[in-house]
Amino acid sequence: MATITIELERKVLNLNKDLSSVALSKRNIFQQQFEDAIKNKSTGWQSLSIIPNSSLQIDEFTLRRMIEKYSEQAVYRPIDDMRYFFSYARRAFTEIGYPPLFYRAVTDRRMTQNKSAISAIGEGIAGFIAQRVYGCRKLSRPCQDGVDIIMSADNTTYLVEAKGTALIDRYNWRDNNLGKAYLEELSREVLSSHGIDIRSVRGLLIGVHLQNELHYNCSIIEINIA
């Protein structure tokens, strides 16, 4: 049974509860104000110091259980699917007994990943991180509605959103997708939920980058409302 290493990093976004009306407004001037608040109120990326070596390990059997528990994707054996993809990406598919190829490919063809498999693994890892790092337990798993997972810990409601990718340029995806559009969307969810929940509400945006079949990179953005 394979063991997967997860490298962790995080940043923290502290928002004022008074931004709720601004966040939900459709007017350009208020949308710009909300985007500026997100940009100015977040810390830089840092190692997750509360975890030794800022990394966790999860065996394949546990990850399969996490996917069953937290993913809404209808995909068969996503871990095996991505293992096959990474093997194919290494171009190690010359059959036994055939002579090796002594020339390079003329064109570098793009290989398409199974997005459902990536999403399923991302959601499973997000649930695992919320349990292991933040001590959360699952309250609800909405399907095609709202955030990915609603969890609870220490009298706080956690809204967890998971995003997965297997793109080569991890940092470009993290900064331009995870840290912008996805972050703005979850921030609006957290701000609007804060006004109707008697408990404190916290957001966790967890981006999972599949580097290869045995190594994942996890970027966590914590959203706190004051």
Strand 215-225 relative to strand 3-15: parallel, antiparallel, unpaired?
parallel
Cβ within 8 Å of residue 57, ≥6 positions away: 3, 4, 5, 6
3-state class percentages of the chain: helix first, strand second, coil last, to nearest 5: 40, 30, 30
Distance CA(182)–CA(171), nearest Å, equals 15
Whole-prediction pTM: 0.87
* Residue 174 near residue 211 (C-beta atoms within 8 A): no
- Structural tokens at position 108: 């570098």
Cβ within 8 Å of residue 49, ≥6 positions away: none
**Residues counted in the chain:** 226
Backbone angles phi, psi at 200, to 5 degrees: -70, 150
Nearest of 218, 75, 220, 72 to residue 147 by alpha carbon: 72
Q: Cα separations (Å) of 154 from 16, 128, 136, 151, 173?
A: 21, 17, 8, 11, 32
Tell me what pLDDT residue 179 has: 87
Residues 79, 172, 144, 58, CA torsion sign:
positive
Nearest of 14, 42, 9 to residue 194 by alpha carbon: 14
- pLDDT tens sequence for the chain (226 residues): 789 999 999 999 999 888 887 777 778 888 888 888 888 877 888 887 777 778 999 999 999 999 999 998 888 899 999 988 887 766 555 566 666 665 555 555 567 789 999 999 999 999 999 999 999 999 999 887 889 999 999 999 999 999 999 988 899 999 988 988 899 899 999 998 988 888 999 999 999 999 999 999 999 999 999 8
Q: CA torsion angle for 118, 121, 123, 128 (degrees, to 10)?
A: -160
DSSP codes, 69-117: HH-----S-HHHHHHHHHHHHTT--PPTTSPPP-S--SS-------HHH
